[in-house]
Amino acid sequence: MKTILEVKKLSKYFGGLAAVNEVDLNVGDSEILGLIGPNGAGKTTLFNVISGFFPPTSGQVIFDDRDITGLKAHEIAHLGISRTFQASTLFMNLSVLDNVFTGYHLSYKTSMWRRLLRRPSALKEEEMLRQRAMEILGVMGLAPLKDELAANLPHGHQRILGVCLVLATNPKLILLDEPVTGMNLSETQTMIDLIRQIRDRGITIVIVEHDMKAVMNLCDRISVLNYGKKIAEGLPQEIRGNKEVIEAYLGKEATK
């Protein structure tokens, strides 16, 4: 399997605190990798560093054979890594369709000045992007809600819309930060199915999630972080029985 994302000895310090401490991570093409660990393990920080929101203190991130360490978030987005946020981060005052359309639009590589001059080619492009946005909503099951304001959607639909937005940037790799947290059982199942569908289209996925059942069910491989360090990695059934992982979650007493 080809490696699409390689994280080498990556560290991120906040003052003296190592939020991420020399983590190595390999993500294969079209793989679903789960990233788990107790609260404060550094999972979200790792996402923030990979997606360029924080510069790393040391280490390297290689994406698609290209060193992207220290690039800005918008540059990394254009290279094909897209992410969701823990809370539903959407354009709340826009309609569902406009959200996805905006996602398409922003990721489309038109220069600011060409956009300003509104060339006919730009108008044609707009219509094409609007159609593509409708397609995505159709696939993700949000088409009937396309004219609803994002703010008025129930939580589960907002999370799905967040994934639609991410897909609109035409990514090769997506980082999902707690995609099913706060969802009920049927919403969780819908999201899991959608994530599988996305993977089947050839997009690699890394998930941070606390819902163990969903993670075990969905992921091909799982990496476990604790106090910023990677303590285990393997297939879901291996992780389930891993002594160190149980210790990290439940404390030393539990393994005795």
Partner 1 sequence: MDNLRKKWYLSPSRINIRSGKVIGLVVLAIILLLVPVVVRSPYHMHLLIMVGINAVLAMAFIFLLRTGLITLAIAAFWGIGAYASALLAVRLGLPFWLALPASALITAIIAFCVGYLFVRNPGFGFIILTIAFGMAIVLVFGTFDFFGGYVGIINIPRPEPITIPFLAPIEFSRVSKTAYYYLMLFLVLIVVLAFYAFYASSAGRAWRAIGLSPRLAESLGVNLFKYRLTAFIISSTAAGLMGSFYAHYMESLVPNAFNVLKTIYAHVYAILGGIGFAISGPVVGALIMTISPELLREFKEFEPIFTGLLLILLVLFLPNGLLGLISSRRPVRPSESIARVGKWIRASLPVSSSGREDKK
Among the listed residues 85, 145, 203, 218, the single contact to partner 1 using CB under 8 A: 85
| Closer Cβ to partner 1, 103 or 156, answer by number | 103
Rounded least distance, CB 19 to partner 1, Å: 5
Options 90, 97, 183, 205; binder of partner 1; rule CB under 8 A: 90
Contact between 199 and 205 under an 8 Å Cβ cutoff? The reply is yes
Residue type, 223: S
**CA torsion sign, 61 to 64 to 67 to 70?**
negative
Which stretch, 119-127, 134-142, 186-194, 233-241, contacts partner 1 (CB under 8 A)? 119-127
Site for partner 1 in 13-32 (CB under 8 A): 14, 19
Nearer Cβ to partner 1, position 31 or 104?
A: 104
Alpha helices in 147-226 (DSSP H): 155-168, 185-200, 212-218
- The neighbour count for residue 96, using CB atoms within 10 Å, is 27
CB distance 211 to 181 below 8 Å: yes
Site for partner 1, residues 136 to 195, rule: CB under 8 A: 165, 168-169
Q: Give the largest CA-CA distance in the chain.
A: 71
Q: Which of 23, 27, 32, 51 binds partner 1 (CB under 8 A)?
A: 51
Give yes or no for residue 132 binding partner 1 (CB under 8 A): no
- Based on the shown chain and the rule CB under 8 A, indicate whether residue 230 belongs to the binding site for partner 1: no
Q: Minimum CB separation from partner 1 for residue 118, in Å?
A: 5
Among 2, 9, 66, 124, the residue binding partner 1 under the rule CB under 8 A is 124
Q: Which of 22, 24, 53, 216 binds partner 1 (CB under 8 A)?
A: 53
Euclidean distance between CA atoms 75 and 233, whole angstroms:
30
Note whether 227 binds partner 1 by CB under 8 A: no
Whether residue 10 contacts residue 59, with contact meaning beta carbons closer than 8 Å, is answered with yes
44: CB partners within 8 A, 6+ apart: 86, 177, 208
Residue 35 belongs to what H/E stretch? strand 32-36
Q: Are strands 173-177 and 221-226 parallel, antiparallel or unpaired?
A: unpaired
Cβ atoms within 10 Å of 173's Cβ, excluding its own: 24
User: Whose Cβ is closer to partner 1: residue 210's or residue 234's?
Assistant: 210
Q: Least distance from C-beta 64 to partner 1, angstroms?
A: 16
Contact 43, 35 (CB under 8 A): yes
Binding-site size, partner 1 (CB under 8 A): 48
Residue 55: strand, helix, or coil: coil
The residue type at 173: L
| Cβ nearer to partner 1, comparing 31 with 177 | 177
Residues in contact with partner 1 by CB under 8 A are 14, 19, 39-45, 48, 51, 53-54, 72-74, 77-78, 82-83, 85-86, 89-94, 102-103, 105-107, 110, 112, 115-118, 120, 122-124, 126-127, 165, 168-169
